[in-house]
Amino acid sequence: MSLKDLVTPFSVWKRALEKPYTNRKPLDSRPGADRYRGFHINDVDKCIGCGTCESICQNEAIDLVPVEGRKTKHGDSGLRPKVDYGRCCWCALCVDICPTGSLGMSNEYVWVDSDPEVFRYVPGHDEKPWNACEKGYRRAEGYDLLEPKRVEMPMLDFSESQKSFVEMVQGYSKEQAMEEADRCIECGICIATCPAHMDVPAYIDAIRRDDLADGLRTVYEANPLPASCGRVCSHACEHVCAMKHKGEAISIRWLKRYIVDQIYANDYQQFLDAAAPENGRSVAIVGSGPGGLAAAYYLRLIGYAVTVYDANEAAGGMLRYGIPEYRLPYDQVDKDIEYIRSLGVTINQNVRIGADVSFQEIYDGNDAVFFSTGLSDPYALEIPGEDLRGVIPGLTILDEVTKGQKPDIGDSVVVVGGGNVAMDAARTSRRYGAEVTILYRRREVDMPADEEEIHESQGEGVTLITQAIPIRIEKGETRRLKLIWGKAEMVPDDRGGRPRPRLIEGSEEVIECDTIVPAIGQQADYKFLPEEIAGRLEFAKGMVTVNEFKQTGDTKIFAGGDIANRKRDAISAIANGHSAAKGIDIYLTNFAAGGRA
Amino acid sequence: MSDQHTQTQISSAEVHEVFADLHTRYGVRGLEEKRADQAFVRTDRDEAVAVLTHLRDRHGYTHLAFLTAVDQIEEGRFELLYMLHNYELRHDLGVIVEIPREGDGCSMDTIHRMWPAAATYQRELREMFGIDFPGSPRLHEDFALEGWHDLPPMRKEFDTREYSERTYYARPGRTKTDTRQHMKDTIYPSEAETW
Amino acid sequence: MVNTDTRSDRPARRGTPIPGTSSARGVPNLATRSQEHINDNPLMPPIVDGKAVFDLDSGKYLKLWQGPQHPGITGNMSLELVVCGDEIVECKTHVGYLHRGFEKLMERRSYIQCFPIVCRIAVPEPDFNEYLFAATVEEIQGIEVPERAQWIRTLNLEMARLASFFMWMGGMAGAFGLGTQGQWTVTMRDYILDRFEELTGGRIYHMYMIPGGVRGDFPEGFTDRLRETIDTCEKTLQDVERTLFNNAVFKKRAKGLGVIHPDIVDQFGIVGPNARAAGFARDVRKDHPYLVYDQLDFEVVTHTDSDAYARAWVRLQEMYQSMDLIRQILDRMPAEGPFFTKLPNVLHWNVKPGHIYKKAECTRGEYGYYLNSDGSDKPRRIYVRGPSYTHAVSLMEHLSIGCNIADTAGLMVSLHTYPPEVER
């Protein structure tokens, strides 16, 4: 031991002159760092209660719970996360994974209470001093556990697509589908919004597992027309997808299509449930659109003998006659229908009920009747000159094309309307080489057509004129016709609805064309119903009134599809058919036990 | 005695040479080269101690980084993993030995005479997996689990959730609401929309 | 094949460097200074097969428990000692006071859910768990981490080493009754934790190095504040060096205490500063450079005395080294760039099947993760190799024989052990 060893420790004394680094009590001024992981905060209006925070929590510290004053609605479960600080480990993975970005953490960390029960609350809903805290942990820019962008769908480019009826959307490859399926967070918010309540997360999971047979089974549990729906479904599910809050919704529709596209029609029977043996009861179905076919499928599955009557040459209804082939190829419609037919469903084509066979006859000859006859009568424009040659309703053009006839449209076409039929008629005309203009009364944002249809029609060279009101049609000078139209201004609706178009007086413009295509909607035609039966049914605003099981005023008659719901899309018709099948089964099992009525 | 940092990394050829030697002598198989500095081999239980001794004394794998087990319950066996390291060649060599996971066969020769520290690993493996190492010191003394009478907890059939539910109680007052069910109950409760 | 004769003709005196031979090809020898000392003393029991043979009922011996409260800053574990007078004739390490079964819990959680768990396996130095867990998953999955993330991770690990050493340094001083240095060093650790807090959002459990990179870039002004902190730390460390390493009490008690003979280094799997103080220039950062260590300049610190003092000295030098490395990293790292790379959706991530062992040099030496994936969404097995596993159990039991009761804490701390990594 040296003298140095004894002396050096005394150098500690110099520290007596230094400022101490302890904090003065009370400790009220030591905020957590800017990104400190303190107590949770949640923007409860932004939160959709998807429960992803709950599923990623490794400690089960989060419960989704109903909170007062918050209603469940489409795209929002109405539940909100409740955090138990007896379990929370402050990892903030819940913040990282939150698809809406509503969840965060404050930098507050001091909370003293003698009651352990209080350390459990719904962030953002329960009043806490840190609710408005700007600081604290948030997911950093450049770090994301979820992928906001969807896998791009291979499409024909517009220069190609407008030349033919080849399907424009080409479908995902296996790698693309698996990558897209991987984006799904399995919250299941979409299930409530899908009219048919398909178990979307389950079939997307099947894609990830590459067990497409299982995926097909899941799909068929709620939708027997998946090849068609996988292409043209109105995909309400995607509008409420939790991932949409982050970026782009999961391509639910196209993932469904992927499953169906990978399985040959002939292999369906080895993966799907076989139909039960016939139970001695029979159901007649009028109309072979999606509603009728869905009812037929589910009824046949549980043992009913099903006969479908359809006025057209081929089954499918609007799927076949209302949607052009570049969106939904006929062989895909056939794939769905042929499987239903293979279960033993009889489909009688070219039979017009009320003309070839009376409704009374099928009513008397079956235990129940379901009709889903759709909307076949186009609304007229109700302007002068509508009866001139060259005014052809949109549905007529689509119908003719399906039947293999070349529509008489000439070189220039003006389509009036903003729905999907208008888009289909316009794009179909484009494929016959015509110059096409669409006139729509309101603004582009008001158009009822699917966004992608509007986008694609413009891409294919269709001119869109909005806030345009047709005034009259006259014989043209250089062309077959001329349409006189006026500009509209948008005025607020007195009844609180969306703004309405009002004609600006004296703003007349003229457009010359060969064909004018009214496509402003269509209505139902109930002429096939005998008066006596029609008298027992109720109608309101052109629709048949039905109960939840789609039963009409006549207990034996059920109705669905566009004539019975306001959504007027294929998937709602399918859901109606499914509900009706359940209803018919309950009715025939419990209330008409005596057999044939 | 200090290791020189100028030494070069082991080459794949050298790894293959060691493997060929072990293969000829002891039938060691299944060489997996993970990285330039890491490989795994498999050997039979009866040869394992000889292989480890040979590797330590002849090939310079003097460091036992760890000894552990992987439960391959579906195949009814444990994989014992002896992770060896050669400081001179800077190479990790994992020696995998398969043993049955049930019955008398669930045992292995002790290596505590080669590496005294191995006694601790073996004690833990006995406690956590139920693997016997006859002759290993203090093998049956508790290690981390004082007074444990249940299944060896690292075995796959030991269910932690079931155990904790049986042993502890949940904090009262927690309720869970299933998002999908809740949305069904509020948005479409009808029997007509229940498939 | 092991020579159980613990008497050795090798001279061994307190504080003298022991000429060593590599045990790789030589005859293994378990002899240490302390055991010889016992066998030289007629009052002490005979040593057979490395263990003392005694009869507790003879009244000559006393059983004494040290722990399970922290015996020095070593974490919750306890030593069951048998003493003769105040000299230890037998020591058994008891662990399990912290056992939370992390390895088992991880087998029952998805990979992303393992991420918040791993840091808890070594409380004062959690970052190595984060790094190694992320690195094993990334290697099996084939994920390339962006360059900036690699620099940030390296910085994070060196900050963790420094903070951990500071905490250890206080414990080392405290174990010999020197409380002042402990106050200083724990404060320095807290300053580093302040930097961790602003970088990661947490002081103790950082949960920052997620598979794919890190969870955030530097906050505004971070590097300047970090440099300042390092300067403060350096100044204090110089004071610690002056007052601890030139301190008669510390020198007197630490020199010659717990000598680890080079021959037993491999037998007991001794790594890190414990091995380096015995003359082995082994450092994972140098031998198997990970992250960006191959782009940094540093020398492996060694000593030959292999006693508590030598180990403390090695750690002191490594603290200066860490500060130097932190400055190097701040100087050399790319100014910007991505710090995270896209992962598969972590909510249903099936990691590719395979197995791999990754290691890194923590303050106690070789820290390792072995990951065995069966291709499912949960790991089949994660094994955590903590250096304390051998240091705190078999090595401690071996070294403590012949040690005084009063020196047990000092011996224990000189091995730098963290019990959570024993129990995992």
Domain extent for C287: 111-349
The reply to whether A482 falls in a domain is yes
Is A14 in a helix, a strand, or coil?
helix
The fold of the B12-171 domain, in CATH, is Beta Polymerase; domain 2 (3.30.460)
pLDDT score recorded for residue C4 = 39
Q: Is A516 in the same domain as A413?
A: yes
Q: How far from chain centre, in Å, is Cα C369?
A: 15
Domain extent for A400: 381-521
User: By the 8 A CB rule, do C91 and C390 touch?
Assistant: no
pLDDT over 90, % of chain B: 78
Q: Is A177 in the same domain as A266?
A: yes
Q: Decide if pLDDT at C179 tops 90.
A: no
Peptide bond into C219 cis (omega under 30): no
Measured distance CA(C74)–CA(C171) in Å, rounded? 8
In chain B, the residue whose alpha carbon lies closest to the alpha carbon of C284 is B90
List, for residues A284-299, the tens digit of each pLDDT value: 999 999 999 999 999 9
Tell me whether C221 touches chain A (CB under 8 Å): no
The reply to whether A32 falls in a domain is no
Burial call A292-305: b when 16+ CB within 10 Å, e when fewer: bbbbbbbbbbeebb
A91 contact residues in C (CB cutoff 8 A)? 115-116, 205, 207
How far A89 CA sits from the closest chain C CA (Å)?
8
Which ipTM value was assigned to this complex?
Answer: 0.93
User: What distances in angstroms separate CA A186 from CA A60, A250, A252, one per listed residue?
Assistant: 17, 11, 12
The reply to whether C173 falls in a domain is yes
Average pLDDT over residues C119-133: 93
- Number of neighbours of residue B74 by Cβ within 10 angstroms: 8
Q: Decide if pLDDT at B1 tops 90.
A: no
Mutate to test the interface with C, among A143, A150, A178, A184 (most CBs of C within 10 A): A143
**Which residue of A65, A192, A579 is in closest CB contact with B183?**
A192
Q: Is A503 in the same domain as A409?
A: yes
Q: Is A455 in the same domain as A483?
A: yes
Subunits adjacent to chain C (3 or more Cβ pairs under 8 Å): A, B
B165 contact residues in A (CB cutoff 8 A)? none
How far A106 CA sits from the closest chain B CA (Å)?
24
* Cβ distance of B65 and C30 shorter than 8 Å: no
DSSP assignments along A232-285, one per residue: H---HHHHH-GGGGTSSPP-HHHHHHHHHHHS-GGGHHHHSPPPPPP-S-EEEE
Tell me whether C166 touches chain A (CB under 8 Å): no
Q: Decide if pLDDT at A184 tops 90.
A: yes
- Number of neighbours of residue C362 by Cβ within 10 angstroms: 29
Average pLDDT over residues B76-100: 95
Q: Decide if pLDDT at C15 tops 60.
A: no
The reply to whether C157 falls in a domain is yes
pLDDT over 90, % of chain A: 84
pLDDT score recorded for residue A186 = 95
**Which residue of C201, C338, C340 is in closest CB contact with A35?**
C201
Q: What is the mean pLDDT of chain C?
A: 86
The reply to whether C340 falls in a domain is yes
Dihedral sign from CA coordinates of B57, C7, C14, C417:
positive
Name the token pair of A287: 């109309």
Average pLDDT over residues A564-573: 92
Find the CATH number of the domain harbouring A85. 3.30.70.3270
A74 contact residues in B (CB cutoff 8 A)? 187
How far B194 CA sits from the closest chain C CA (Å)?
28
How far B170 CA sits from the closest chain A CA (Å)?
11
Tell me whether A532 touches chain B (CB under 8 Å): no
Within the 95-134 window of chain B, which residues sit less than 8 Å (CB to CB) from chain C? 113-117, 119-121
* Cβ distance of A140 and C198 shorter than 8 Å: no
pLDDT score recorded for residue A1 = 67
Q: Decide if pLDDT at C221 tops 50.
A: yes
pLDDT score recorded for residue C37 = 54
Average pLDDT over residues A493-514: 88
pLDDT score recorded for residue A20 = 75
Average pLDDT over residues B65-73: 96
* Cβ distance of B182 and A188 shorter than 8 Å: no
List, for residues C105-118, the tens digit of each pLDDT value: 999 999 999 999 99
Q: Is A357 in the same domain as A385?
A: no
Beta-bridged to residue A80, according to DSSP, are A65
Q: Give residue A550's region: left, alpha or beta (phi > 0; psi -120 to 50).
A: left
The reply to whether A130 falls in a domain is no
* Cβ distance of A548 and B192 shorter than 8 Å: yes
Average pLDDT over residues A553-571: 93
Question: How many residues are given for chain A?
Answer: 597
Q: Is A300 in the same domain as A319?
A: yes
pLDDT score recorded for residue C18 = 34
Tell me whether A30 touches chain C (CB under 8 Å): no
The reply to whether A218 falls in a domain is yes
User: By the 8 A CB rule, do A398 and A588 touch?
Assistant: no
The reply to whether A6 falls in a domain is no
The letter for the amino acid at A402 is: T
Measured distance CA(A298)–CA(B110) in Å, rounded? 66
Q: Is A73 in the same domain as A103?
A: yes
For chain C, what is the domain count? 1
Measured distance CA(C309)–CA(C16) in Å, rounded? 12
Q: Decide if pLDDT at C81 tops 80.
A: yes
In chain C, the residue whose alpha carbon lies closest to the alpha carbon of A58 is C113
Average the pLDDT over each of A227-231, A490-494, A570-574, B125-129 and give the range with the smallest value.
A490-494
Half-sphere exposure of A143 (CA within 13 A, CB side): 23
User: What distances in angstroms separate CA A325 from CA A231, A320, A416, A469, C124, one per listed residue?
Assistant: 11, 8, 21, 30, 67
pLDDT score recorded for residue C74 = 63
List, for residues A25-78, the tens digit of each pLDDT value: 776 678 899 999 999 999 999 999 999 999 999 999 999 999 999 999 999 999
Name the token pair of A452: 């992608």
**Which residue of C248, C339, C347 is in closest CB contact with A5?**
C248
The reply to whether C238 falls in a domain is yes
* Cβ distance of B115 and C267 shorter than 8 Å: yes
pLDDT score recorded for residue A470 = 94
**Which residue of A21, A146, A184 is in closest CB contact with C187?**
A21
Q: Decide if pLDDT at C345 tops 50.
A: yes
* Cβ distance of B158 and C104 shorter than 8 Å: yes
In chain B, the residue whose alpha carbon lies closest to the alpha carbon of A582 is B192
Q: Is A436 in the same domain as A358?
A: no
* Cβ distance of B63 and C389 shorter than 8 Å: no
pLDDT score recorded for residue C97 = 84
Average the pLDDT over each of A10-19, B86-95, C175-184, C393-402 and give the range with the smallest value.
A10-19
Q: Is A227 in the same domain as A289?
A: no
CB < 8 Å & 24+ apart, contacts of B43-46: B43/B95, B43/B96, B43/B97, B44/B97, B45/B97, B45/B98, B45/B99, B45/B108, B45/B109
Where is the domain boundary, A470, A496, A521? A521
Q: Is A335 in the same domain as A426?
A: no
A-C CB pairs within 8 A amount to 110
How far B172 CA sits from the closest chain A CA (Å)?
10
A57 contact residues in C (CB cutoff 8 A)? 113
Higher pLDDT among residues A118 and A593, named by residue: A118
Going by pLDDT thresholds of 50, 70 and 90, the confidence category of residue B147 is confident
* Cβ distance of A192 and B188 shorter than 8 Å: yes
Higher pLDDT among residues C356 and A30, named by residue: C356
How far A185 CA sits from the closest chain C CA (Å)?
7
Q: Is A386 in the same domain as A463?
A: yes
For chain A, what is the domain count? 4
| Domain ranges, ordered by start, for chain B | 12-171
Cα torsion at A295, A296, A298, A304 (round to 10°)?
A: 120
A48 contact residues in B (CB cutoff 8 A)? none
pLDDT score recorded for residue C44 = 74
A-B CB pairs within 8 A amount to 72
B180 contact residues in A (CB cutoff 8 A)? 188, 191-192
* Cβ distance of C243 and A137 shorter than 8 Å: no
